[in-house]
Amino acid sequence: MEKIKTSLRESAVARWIALALISLTMFFAYFFVDVAAPLQSLLESKHGWSPETFGMLGGSEFFLNVFAFFLILSGIILDKMGIRFTILTSGFAMVIGASIKYYALTESFAASGLAHSLDSFWTSVPASAKLAFFGFAIFGVGVEMAGITVSKAIVKWFKGKELALAMGLEMATARLGVFAVFRLSPIFAERGGVPNSILWGVIFLIIGLLTFSIYTLMDLKLDREIGADENSEPEEVFRVSDLLLILKNPGFLAIASLCVLFYSAIFPFQKFATDMLSSKLDISIKDAAAMFSYFPIGAMVLTPFIGAFLDKKGLGATMMLYGAILLTVSHLIFALVPADAFSPVVAYSTIVILGLAFSLVPASMWPSVPKIVEDRFLGSAYGLIFWIQNIGLLAVPILIGWALTAANPGVAEAIASGQDMKYNYTVPELIFAGFGVLAMILSFVLKHVDKTHGFGLDLPNKK
């Protein structure tokens, strides 16, 4: 007991330093996730990409995670191999995948034999997009593996302490990466085109790999202090059949379903939001990106406070319901308010509402998972939730790209030929609002499951 009392995680300074190290890497990871999001029009005019191709790029991030089951495998690796091995593996995967995506958009690739080979099939999609899809899929394996590993690492350092606050601060830091990308990516593109923006993203990820490496040293020291060795056999060896136990848990199924619906109306939307605001307000892409950059700011500021509230007062399941309601309202405003009434004030107000929703649900959802799943299943449970989430994140950007083209016949061809045309985003926004309505329904289901099984999702996290 004395060893545990004096271990590194009992030091508040050490706990928060560990959190800062892994959060900084997630800042860089989230920057790269959306590094091309403000550049849709440039990819269409300079690289010959259509809205469907742009949507496929967003979906490609999740291809290997979904169809090759890499996310479930990542969870199993995390439970069997431990945090240090998994976090470094994720960091290397992000850097490798991002570098491939950068190369795909360079002139060197365009003049290479590989580009000519890729042009020989699937001719409706440019060779640059095909290689970018491949690189982004590898990056996606790394970033989602990092996500579940960081979640388990935070539980390791903060369980029974400021768990929701710590998760909230990590998410807030990641959201700051989204703010940074919508501010910086258009500026980088002005000074070297889309490849320059991607290159800066790669540089940031290399720095993130270094911070992950420093964190592993702290993790190793903690394990030595408490007499644990994550590279040894776990007390109960994980079996693939244990996934069935997780899937039979009604609380897990409710949270996983809510997760995929909620995030399907957030992350795919981020990729189209800049062009949507530019079209509806008739402003430049740079100004639209700057406007939308305030979306993650609200989430960044509010999430830690919501986390602190959840630690002390609880109401996690209730917060998820409120978040789903706000999500639906914001997308309905984007969809139904006519362009002549859609002023910058309306746009900023709606972005704030969406940002509040983006604070409430994740801050409540992720600290709830340890309440419904045994610790030995935690990595696999996070991996399974992320896998289910990734199914939506793979399909929805492709769906939105298709819906945008179908609802705007001839516009994509006009933009490709150099004409100044704008898309109407009413149909895509109604699709996003539909996800919000379904998320509201799942929130009520989750509250019912919590009441029936006594998971304590509305109870405080701090003991």
Which pair of tokens denotes residue 55? 């949507």
pLDDT at residue number 1 = 41
Contact 56, 133 (CB under 8 A): yes
Q: What is the pTM of this model?
A: 0.78
pLDDT digits (tens, 9 = 90+) for 80-118: 889 999 999 999 999 999 999 999 999 999 999 999 999
SS3 60: helix
Rounded CA gap, 276 and 403, in Å?
13
Q: Provide the phi-psi class of 315: left if phi over 0, else alpha when psi is between -120 and 50, else beta.
A: left
String of DSSP letters for 7-34: SGGGSHHHHHHHHHHHHHHHHHHHHHHT
- pLDDT band, very low/low/confident/very high, at 69 (cuts 50, 70, 90): confident
Instruction: With a cut of 60, say whether residue 282 has pLDDT above it.
Output: yes
Q: How confident is the model at residue 420 (pLDDT cuts 50, 70, 90)?
A: confident
pLDDT digits (tens, 9 = 90+) for 179-199: 899 999 999 999 889 999 999
> 441 to each of 271, 322, 444, how far by Cα in Å?
26, 11, 5
Please state the rounded mean pLDDT for residues 19-34.
Answer: 96
What are the C-alpha distances in Å from 85 to residues 7, 38, 64, 88, 215? 21, 34, 20, 6, 12
Q: For residue 148, what are the CA distances in angstroms to 71, 270, 385, 403?
A: 9, 21, 9, 32
Is residue 4 pLDDT above 80, yes or no? no
Average pLDDT score, the chain? 88
Residue with tokens 């060197």: 108
Q: Which residue type, as a one-letter code, is found at position 197? A: S
Rounded average pLDDT over 19-33: 96
Residues 443, 140: contact at Cβ < 8 Å? Answer: no
Q: What angle do CA 180, 185, 187 make, to 5 degrees?
A: 110
Q: Mind listing the pLDDT tens digit for each residue in 325-361?
A: 999 999 999 999 998 999 999 999 999 999 899 888 8
Mean pLDDT of 397-405: 92
The closest alpha carbon to 364, from 255, 261, 252, belongs to 255
- What's the pLDDT at 463? 63
Q: What is the pLDDT of residues 15-24, one digit of tens each?
A: 999 999 999 9
**How many C-beta atoms lie closer than 10 Å to residue 233's C-beta?**
8
Of residues 370, 24, 9, 394, the one with CA closest to residue 176: 24
Domains recognised in the chain with CATH numbers? 2-453 (1.20.1250.20)
Mean pLDDT over 376-404 rounds to 86
**pLDDT tens across 200-255, in order?**
999 999 999 999 999 999 999 988 887 754 444 444 455 666 778 888 899 999 99
* Confidence band of 277 (pLDDT split at 50, 70, 90): very high
pLDDT band at 73 (very low <50, low <70, confident <90, very high): confident
pLDDT(132) > 90: yes
Cβ atoms 421, 415 nearer than 8 A: yes
Contacts of 40 (CB under 8 A, 6+ apart): 51, 54, 271, 272, 274, 275, 285
Average pLDDT over residues 435-447: 95
**For tokens 């100004």, what's the residue?**
287
Q: What is the pLDDT of residue 229?
A: 47
Distance (Å, whole) CA 161 – CA 463 = 7
pLDDT at position 5 over 80? no
Query: How many angstroms from the chain centroid is the CA of residue 67?
Result: 18
